[in-house]
């Protein structure tokens, strides 16, 4: 009922981020009236920095398949929600589009491609990174990718999230792997079928980095000056 919807709307304004995520889903489930409330809430938030609450609303409006909402998103955010800073002229819009529609598997693949692009022609050809290439990555580019992953994952995914977990386990890789769902007992999680390509994944599960050639690449990524 509309009384219920008004109630949810007022709760949305003061709730914790965790509860806001739930409320956004509940409000969207009420139909067109709910979508309009979410659209207005998103518009009112435009002053502050973009965070995962904005990302969540963007995702539910996009998923609603309402032409009106699709139109609003296109007009209000012609370049997407997250501003795509790159010091090397790399275009991250495909990553943004894939994450906005929660295609985490394709977004993971394209994110790795973009890091190869950032590293240069040889890495693009090779299709994987040398750890020595990572020192030269601009802070801005890694922060853009991290912001994209966080904004469209309720804050769950991203290199800086992985870094925080890694620091929390005393930089112990063997403790990190099971915590982020990359290893179970002695068994590595197999790519791609065994990974969890949605938000039921453990915190820090994505983006992936292949450990076939050792930990030096991920170590360089997690200790980059981008993370302060
Ligand atoms: N794979 O197991 N991985 C691949 C992961 C390992 C292997 C790609 C992550 C362990 C082979 C991605 C984990 C291992 C290939 C990931 C994981 C292994 C491959 C595609 C948990 C064997 C075929 C991009 C740590 C015991 C390609 C890419 C090749 C691919 C990710 C095997 C994203 C997070 C140690 C044989 N694995 N990878 O890099 O290079 O190719 O031969 O990490």
- CA–CA gap between residue 153 and residue 112 (Å, rounded): 17
- List, for residues 16-43, the tens digit of each pLDDT value: 999 999 999 999 999 999 999 999 999 9
Q: Is the pLDDT of residue 1 over 70?
A: no
Once rounded to an integer, what is the mean pLDDT over residues 93-112? 98
Atom of ligand 1 nearest to the CA of 208: 34
Q: Is the confidence at residue 2, as pLDDT, over 70?
A: no
Predicted confidence (pLDDT) per residue in 129-154, tens digit: 999 999 999 999 999 999 999 999 99
pLDDT of residue 48: 84
> What is the mean predicted confidence (pLDDT) over 168-187?
98
Å from CA of 148 to ligand 1 middle: 23
C-alpha torsion sign, points 43, 49, 53, 54: positive
DSSP 155-210: T--SHHHHHHHHHHTTT-HHHHHHHTTSEETTEEPPTTTTS--STTSPTT--S---
pLDDT digits (tens, 9 = 90+) for 180-211: 999 999 999 999 999 999 999 999 999 999 99
Atom of ligand 1 nearest to the CA of 177: 25
Average pLDDT over residues 54-59: 98
187: left (phi over 0), alpha (psi -120 to 50) or beta: beta
Rounded to two decimals, the pTM is 0.97
**Per-residue pLDDT at 45:** 94
Give Cβ neighbours of residue 92 (< 8 Å, ≥ 6 apart).
84, 86, 114, 144, 145, 148
User: Is 90 exceeded by the pLDDT of residue 3?
Assistant: no
The phi and psi torsions of 137 (rounded to 5 degrees) equal -65, 130
Judge whether residue 111 has pLDDT over 90.
yes
| Residues 37, 5 contacting (CB under 8 angstroms) | yes
Is the CB of 210 within 6 Å of ligand 1?
A: yes
> How remote is the CA of residue 211 from the centroid of ligand 1, in Å?
6
* Averaged pLDDT for residues 84-89: 98
ipTM > 0.95, yes or no: yes
Q: Quick check: CB of 212 below 6 Å from ligand 1?
A: yes
Ligand 1: does its nearest atom lie under 6 Å from the Cβ of 215? no
């Amino acid at each position: 009922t509309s009384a219920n919807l008004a109630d949810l709307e007022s709760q949305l304004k003061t709730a914790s981020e965790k509860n806001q995520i739930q409320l956004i889903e509940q409000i969207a489930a009420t139909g067109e009236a709910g979508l309009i409330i979410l659209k207005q809430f998103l518009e009112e938030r435009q002053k502050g920095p973009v965070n995962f609450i904005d990302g969540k609303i963007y995702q539910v409006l996009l998923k609603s398949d309402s032409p009106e909402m699709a139109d609003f998103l296109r007009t209000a955010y012609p370049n997407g929600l997250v501003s795509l800073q790159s010091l090397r002229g790399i275009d991250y819009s495909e990553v943004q589009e894939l994450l906005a529609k929660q295609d985490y598997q394709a977004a993971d693949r394209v994110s790795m491609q973009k890091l190869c692009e950032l590293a240069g022609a040889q890495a693009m050809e090779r299709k994987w990174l040398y750890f020595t290439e990572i020192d030269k990555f601009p802070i801005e580019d890694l922060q853009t990718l991290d912001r994209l992953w966080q904004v469209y994952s309720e804050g769950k995914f991203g290199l800086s999230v992985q870094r925080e977990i890694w620091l929390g386990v005393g930089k112990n890789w063997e403790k990190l792997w099971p915590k982020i769902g990359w290893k179970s007992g002695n068994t590595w999680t197999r790519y791609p079928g065994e990974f969890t390509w949605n938000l039921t994944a453990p915190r820090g599960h994505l983006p992936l980095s292949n450990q076939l050639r050792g930990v030096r690449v991920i170590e360089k990524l997690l200790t980059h000056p981008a993370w302060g």
